[in-house]
Amino acid sequence: MIEPKTEWFIIVNPRAGSGKTMSLWVPAEQRMQKLGIPFVTAMTDHKRHATTLAHDAASEGYRKILAVGGDGSLHETFAGIARYCDETGTPTEEFTLGVMPIGSGNDWIKSLDVPNDLDKVIDLVEKESVGVMDVVKVTGGGGKVCYMANVGGTGFDSHVCSRVNFQKEGGKRGKLIYLDALRYTITHISAISVKVIADSSIVFEGPCYSIALGNGRYSGSGMRQVPLATIDDGIVDYMIVPKAPLHALVKQIPKLFNGTVNESPLVISGRCSHLLIEPLDEQSEDIFELDGEIEGKLPMSIEMDGRRINVIKG
């Protein structure tokens, strides 16, 4: 039996936040040392490395794991913990997950009232200000198993993320890349034909432009595709955009940012504990994203199985 360690295991992504990670992390690290918060650190050096580091840390007995980076770092770290739990049968409730927000989006923390300020996050860690988050398990095409902490989707949603990641890889940073990706995708997107089944009931079948699903409610640096999502209610929210004239859909964009898109007559919204998205033809086997990272292709099955993980919250 593994003896749980009391220290925080901190995974630092030195490439997050336009490369400003170390200039922000070093003083934060020094402050944690002065406060007497026990921790060890590990640096990532390639994509998906945080998943491996978190998985290995869990196997060594660490039960408090903190990511220093953006939503991508958080996604990878959460995946490592969840994968370890699935492999070993360890309850996710044994773990506490947190993030030191250094990134361009930092959307996950918004649903937890965590300030976008490293000193204030350290205060939360010191006070052990903890809440809970539902564990969302996603199975994609070919049986690939993934995990979602915040928001995911397919169609327009996943192609916006793909465009954002393409720009980041090209060295671009800042919130404007999300708006640029939004504009670009609108002019290049094609409808996909899918069947969507929520808790055994068909809620949509036909051509659509986008499907978003949410544990949290914020994505794309502040967009709210699933504005009613609650991170600890045991259900996943979804928003489907059926095919419609693009000029009509463009007029709905402000609703993505003011939290009222679910009220639009052009979308279908709902909540469930299990969601299945099946492509109706080969051309509709589109990519899907989870927490801003492209993880696979349709079909995808989203499952809320009642598990939770502890999270640092405001």
Q: Where residue 250 sits, what CATH number does that domain have?
A: 2.60.200.40
Q: Which of 79-88, 115-124, 185-194, 262-271 has the lowest mean pLDDT?
A: 185-194
Residues 145 and 185 in one domain: yes
Residue 115: its pLDDT value, please?
94
Residues 74 and 219 in one domain: no
Domain closes at, from 99, 128, 157: 128
The Cβ-side half-sphere exposure at 152, using a 13 Å CA radius, reads 30
Structure tokens at 81: 């913990």
Give the burial class of 171: count Cβ atoms within 10 A of its Cβ; 0-12 exposed, 13-18 middle, 19 or more buried: exposed
Q: What is the mean pLDDT of residues 249-270?
A: 93
Taking only the tens place, the pLDDT of each residue in 161-173 is: 777 766 666 556 6
H-helix or E-strand spanning residue 57: helix 49-59
CATH number for the domain that contains residue 21: 3.40.50.10330
Q: What is the mean pLDDT of residues 227-256?
A: 94
Domain closes at, from 71, 106, 128: 128
Q: Which residue range(s) make up the domain with 17?
A: 5-128
Residues 168 and 233 in one domain: yes
Q: Is the peptide bond before 299 cis (omega within 30 degrees of 0)?
A: yes
H-helix or E-strand spanning residue 8: strand 5-12
Residues 123 and 163 in one domain: no
In whole angstroms, what is the distance from residue 27 CA to residue 11 CA? 16
Residues 164 and 109 in one domain: no
Cα distances (angstroms) measured from residue 82 to each of 89, 95, 98: 10, 10, 14
Residues 160 and 124 in one domain: no
Domain closes at, from 100, 128, 156: 128
In this model, does residue 19 exceed pLDDT 70?
A: no
Residue 196: its pLDDT value, please?
98
Number of domains the chain contains: 2
187: number of Cβ within 10 Å: 7
Q: What is the mean pLDDT of residues 22-45?
A: 94
Instruction: With respect to residue 36, please indicate whether it lies within any of the assigned structural domains.
Output: yes
